Amino acid sequence: MANTVRQVPDDELTPQDVIEKIQLIKKALVKNWMPIVLLPLIGFGIGYGLDTIMKTPDEYEAEVVFNLGGSQSSGGFGDMAGLLGLGNAPDANIFTGENFFYFVKSRPVIERNLLKEVEVNGSKVILANFFIDSSGIKNKEWEENTEFLNFKFTERDPKKFDRNSRIVLNQLVVKAANLTEIGPLERKSSFSKLSTRMENENLAGLWVTSLLKTVEEMYTENQTQKTRKQLHLLESRRDSLGRVLGVAENRLAREMDISAQVYDPTVKVSASRMEKKSTFLQQMYYEAMANAEKMRVSLVREAPLFTEIEGIKTPLDSKSSTKTRAKIGALIGIFLALVFTYLRTVLAPAPKEAQA
């Protein structure tokens, strides 16, 4: 049988072709070794120079891991179990699932936390003023707004702010929200992680701890709003009954004093009626006191429980962003060297064949 030779299609490479191409690439690399070495070095040098000139401060990372427990309301484990998708949420609850994470970074929460009074190095200061001095906003966002460089908050009530104070506070809220991260610790875990990265170590640690307390305060206020209104009504009724009871007891004392001195039957009847009225008011007053106390206990039960699982580290971990441009410059240099080698190899004139 005659041997058949298999024809290799034009779009396939034989082992011999692969070897030849490898040798060709090797020769091209050896021939152009100088630009391959010099271009990455030049790129690295330019990037290193930019890193030195445009050096950014180290950032400190602070994070707190916490768990949001359920309240003990009439619904068993509480309405708060629905916060992270663990159960049924209360009616019209806007703090379920991802809504809670949005709530943490919302303007009212960030604004309230910025206007808190905190202790820094033994002195009481408004957190917004400490944020202005230590967050780097003066060197970045306010580099051209020199009018804000010496700004200080003197009031903590936003209703008393002038236009400039409102503008500054709004800018601080935007920057603080961008520096704040909140999310689940793990997909299957109910724990949440609140973290931030800032140039000042004290500010980073103080921000996450203070913000967690602010979130707890505002969350509790929203979740127990109806109960607090009911408690206010019960306390008002109790105080009103107390005033009426006081008047009735004073009048009863006078009636009893008069009846002891005067032997008029009508006086004794009036004193007896006053005594019955006073007794009735006492029962209503004690009942109002008991109802208010029960509502106060219910308020405590309905309040969510923020449990801190892991606090901030001491000292905080620092993250450096130096030499980033140097690495990018070296990669760009390698890319340009390879492109130069390829073009030089492809566009080079073919060698003239030797004349026979």
Q: Are residues 213 and 64 in the same domain?
A: yes
Residue-wise pLDDT tens digits, 89-106: 444 456 666 888 888 999
Q: Residue 145 domain-assigned?
A: yes
Can you give the pLDDT at residue 112? 94
With contact defined as beta carbons under 8 Å apart, do 235 and 299 qualify?
A: no
Q: Are residues 68 and 117 in the same domain?
A: yes
Can you give the pLDDT at residue 356? 40
Q: Are residues 77 and 219 in the same domain?
A: yes
Which residue range is the domain that position 165 belongs to?
59-224+304-319
Q: Are residues 109 and 153 in the same domain?
A: yes
Give the number of domains in the chain: 2
Average of pLDDT values for 35-55?
A: 75
Share of the chain above pLDDT 90, in %: 16
Q: Residue 19 domain-assigned?
A: no
Q: Point out the least confidently predicted range of 29-38, 45-54, 120-129, 254-263.
A: 254-263
With contact defined as beta carbons under 8 Å apart, do 99 and 215 qualify?
A: no
Quick one: CA dihedral 236, 237, 239, 243, positive or negative? positive
Q: Residue 241 domain-assigned?
A: yes
- Provide the CB-side half-sphere exposure for 341 (13 A, CA): 22
Q: Residue 270 domain-assigned?
A: yes
Q: Are residues 88 and 137 in the same domain?
A: yes
Whose structure tokens read 């604004």? 111
Q: Above 70 in pLDDT, residue 77?
A: no
With contact defined as beta carbons under 8 Å apart, do 191 and 66 qualify?
A: yes
Q: Residue 344 domain-assigned?
A: no
Q: Are residues 155 and 190 in the same domain?
A: yes
Q: Are residues 253 and 126 in the same domain?
A: no
Which of the pair, 131 or 263, is modelled with greater confidence? 131
Q: Are residues 86 and 159 in the same domain?
A: yes
Q: Are residues 75 and 134 in the same domain?
A: yes
* Arithmetic mean of pLDDT over the chain: 76
Residue-wise pLDDT tens digits, 297-343: 777 776 667 778 888 888 887 776 666 777 787 788 788 877 877 77
Q: Are residues 149 and 290 in the same domain?
A: no
Average of pLDDT values for 63-80?
A: 59
Q: Are residues 154 and 253 in the same domain?
A: no
Q: Residue 205 domain-assigned?
A: yes
Residues 6+ apart with CB under 8 A from 299: 224, 227, 228, 231
The reply to whether omega before 315 is within 30° of 0 (cis) is yes
Q: Residue 291 domain-assigned?
A: yes
Q: Residue 52 domain-assigned?
A: no
Q: Are residues 308 and 169 in the same domain?
A: yes
